[in-house]
Amino acid sequence: MIELKNVNKWYGEYHALNDVCGRVEKGQVLVVCGPSGSGKSTMIRTLNRLENIQKGDITVNGASIYDPRNDLNKLRASIGFVFQQFNLFPHYSVRENVTLSARKVFRMPAREADELAESLLAKVGLAHKIDAMPANLSGGQQQRVAIARALAQRPPVILFDEPTSALDPEMVNEVLCVMKQLAAEGMTMVVVTHEMDFAREVADRIWFMDAGCILEDSTPAEFFSAPRHPRARKFLEDVRH
Ligand SMILES: Nc1ncnc2c1ncn2[C@@H]1O[C@H](COP(=O)(O)OP(=O)(O)OP(=O)(O)O)[C@@H](O)[C@H]1O
Ligand SMILES: [Mg+2]
C-alpha cells in the first residue's frame, strides 16, 4: 500500500532521511521506533507530504504522492494523521472537529456529516461528548476525538506520531485500546511509538531507525528476541529501564 523508494531528505545541510526504503502492506500495522532525533517524525510526515523530500519517491496504492496532479489538501485530508499534541481546533466542538474536513474539503452534506460524527464517536467511546468543546475533555478523550477525526475520510491508512506520549499514564491505555481495535478491524497503520508492549502485541513489522536510516525491518518476534543491530539492542535496553 505504501512504498518508500530511496527517500532522502535534508534540512539545510542536515541529512535527515538517508536512502530510506520500505513497504507497508494493506492491513499491516508498522511500528517505528528509535532514539530521539533519529528521523521518525520526519519519515512519517513525508508519507502525507507534511514534509517534502528532495530525492526518491513515495507511492500510496501505486501512485506517487509527488505527482503534480495531486491536490495537496485532498491528499493530506485523505490520509489520517494523529499527532502527539492532538491538534484539535479549540473553538470548534467535538462534532465539528470530526467532520470539518469531510464538510470543507470533500463537501459532505451536513446531515451525512452528523451521522458520520455520531458513528465514529461511538466507535471511540465518546458518543456522549459530541457537543463538548475540546478544552473540557481529558487528554485521552481529546486523542480519541483526534482518532475519530482521522477516520472520517475512511482513509486507506492512518499515521500516528507518538499518540500517547503527551498523555498522563492513566490515559494511555484508553487510546491504545482504540488503536488495537482499529488494527483488529484491518486498518493499515503506521505508528511511531515507544510503547513496546503495543509493538509486541499489535505490530506486523517493526522499523528501528537511527540517524535517518532504517537499521532494522523485522517482525516483533525477531526484533524483541534477537535485534540484529547493536544500536537496536541498546535502544531496547534503555526502553526497558
Ligand atoms: N524543521 C526542521 N529543521 C531543521 N532540522 C530539523 C527539523 N525537524 C527536525 N529536524 C532535525 O532532524 C532530525 C530528526 O528529527 P525528527 O523530529 O524526525 O526525530 P524523531 O526521531 O521524531 O525524534 P523524537 O523521538 O525526539 O520525536 C533531528 O536531528 C532534528 O533536529
Ligand atoms: Mg518525533
Q: Judge whether residue 241 has pLDDT over 80.
A: no
Output the nine-digit C-alpha cell for 85.
499534541
pLDDT of residue 75: 79
DSSP string, 179-237: HHHHHHTT-EEEEE---HHHHHHH-SEEEEEETTEEEEEE-HHHHHH--SSHHHHHHHH
Q: What is the dihedral of CA 221, 223, 226, 232, to 10 degrees?
A: -170
Residue 192 pairs in a beta bridge with 32, 161
- Enter the C-alpha cell of residue 133: 468543546
Residue type, 126: L
**Rounded CA gap, 53 and 49, in Å?**
8
* β-sheet bridge partners, residue 32: 192, 207
- Are the CB atoms for 221 and 211 separated by under 8 Å? no
**For residue 5, pLDDT beyond 90:** yes
Beta bridge partners of 57: 5
Centre of ligand 1 to C-alpha 213, Å, is: 13
pLDDT of 52 reads 93
- Closest residue to atom 27 of ligand 1, CA basis: 36
CA nearest ligand 1 atom 4, residue: 11
pLDDT greater than 80 at residue 78:
no
Is the separation of the CB atoms in 42 and 17 below 8 Å? Answer: yes
pLDDT of 104 above 80:
yes
Higher pLDDT residue, 101 or 57?
57
**In the predicted model, what is the mean pLDDT of residues 22-47?**
96
CB 158 within 8 A of CB 80: yes
Near ion ligand 2, which residues have CB within 5 Å? 41
The number of beta carbons lying within 10 Å of the beta carbon of residue 60 is 20
Minimum CA distance residue for ligand 1 atom 28: 37
CA distance 115 to 170: 31
| Closest C-alpha residue for ligand 1 atom 26 | 36
Span 173-189, average pLDDT: 96
Considering the chain, what percentage of its residues have pLDDT values greater than 90? 80
pTM score: 0.94
Whose atoms come closest to the Cα of 36: which ligand?
1
Residue nearest to atom 9 of ligand 1 (CA): 42
- Whether pLDDT at 107 is above 90: no
> What's the pLDDT tens digit per position in 122-171?
999 999 999 999 999 999 999 999 999 999 988 899 999 999 999 999 99
Q: Which residue has the cell 467532520?
A: 99
Name the average pLDDT for the chain: 93
pLDDT of residue 140: 96
Which residues form the pocket of ligand 1, taking CB atoms under 6 Å from any ligand atom?
A: 11, 14, 16, 34, 36-42
* Total length of the chain: 241
Question: CB neighbours of 30 closer than 8 A, spacing ≥ 6?
Answer: 24, 189, 190, 191, 203, 204, 205, 206, 207
- Residue with C-alpha cell 528476541? 225
CA atoms within 13 Å, Cβ hemisphere of 220: 14
The predicted model gives 217-230 an average pLDDT of: 94
Ligand 1 centroid, distance to 38 Cα (angstroms): 7
Closest ligand (CA of 17): 1
